[in-house]
Amino acid sequence: MKILVTGGAGFIGSAVIRYIVNNTADSVVNVDKLTYAGNLDSLVAIADSDRYAFEQVDICNCVELERVFRQYQPDAVMHLAAESHVDRSIDGPAAFIETNIVGTYTLLEVTRKYWSELDALRKDAFRFHHISTDEVYGDLEGPEDLFTEQTSYAPSSPYSASKASSDHLVRAWQRTYGLPTLVTNCSNNYGPYHFPEKLIPLMILNALEGKPLPVYGKGNQVRDWLYVDDHARALYTVVTQGKIAETYNVGGHNEMQNIEVVNTICALLDELVGDGKDAGGQVTEVRGEEQDRQSHTSRFKPHASLITYVTDRPGHDLRYAIDASKIQRELGWKPQETFETGIRKTVQWYLDNLEWCRRVQDGSYQRERLGTAE
């Protein structure tokens, strides 16, 4: 099978592509505009595969999308391209309307035209999988409430409103035109290659540099945390086994308050970041990146002392929680990582990949692809 993945240079998209190339016999076409959040460094491990191709294309560009479909003849589309940062949507909602709504519409129309011209066998097998968020549901009132696939939409931010709009478009194209679509709504993802503006990587990298760890309000906002590799496996399961016109919620079964997440990260950094001494108390010789990491971070223990409470953002939802029983019951998927195992892997990955982080923070990952000097 050949799968066209939009937004494949982003956090979740790159995880999906790595999963497909490393764990299946399928081929992938990565369509990504390469905005600030698109990072080809996240795909270095599979970039040379003969089952991977990259096209720098904006999903709002109808002509270029049509060319990509003609050239690669995909058997399925996994649509992940989106503006996704809530704070950015509050400061500048226009980009979210353009990419998440207009871009999804454009992709749907190009896909519909392509799909309608397929032969009967390929047409029947084709799938359009739209990847969305639990934020379209708004927030939950009761402590035991969960988002189900039947929960009414009540988005709170420009970001979640734009994603809700795209969900409705996808379902309308299925109902009106018969386009074989599936929708998934996921909880908060975390893991390797996450752009540092998001909560978990921001906390890790700020702590390593001794910077304040800004926590909104009291930090009592509750999220269900899903390890990104578990999500990638779920998405592949849905696109290959899911039932047309169905929605599947994907969650990690890990409800945590934001302040609990931050304190867990701090405790792991206290444990994992060395202080330049071995078990016997003797100073050990370290070089290069490891030496830099130790010299910068050992001074900041306990890292929780860096936590700073800041004014809450407008319209901040208090609690999200996913009921992911449908995807487990019908498709046999469930997360393999607990929050404890996933967050440890995540913190360790960032400690082991500070060069990737540096290239994101100083912008060199973008300058190099634009052909400009650092």
Looking at the annotation, which residues are catalytic?
A: 134-135, 159
Helices (H), 178-257: 199-208, 228-241
Whether the CB-CB separation of 11 and 82 falls below 8 Å is answered with no
Query: Angle at Cα 186 formed by Cα 184 and Cα 190, nearest 5°?
Result: 140
- Cβ neighbours for 257, distance < 8 A, ≥ 6 positions apart: 219, 220, 221, 222
Whats the size of the chain, residue-wise?
374
Is the C-alpha dihedral spanning 40, 45, 46, 48 positive or negative? positive
Whether residue 302 is preceded by a cis peptide bond, meaning omega within 30 degrees of 0, is yes
Alpha carbon 114 to its chain's center: 27
Give the whole-angstrom CA distance, residue 311 versus residue 280.
Answer: 45
Q: Which of 124, 185, 182, 117 is nearest to 150 (CA)?
A: 185
Alpha carbon 115 to its chain's center: 27
Residue 308 has φ and ψ, to the nearest 5°, of: -130, 130
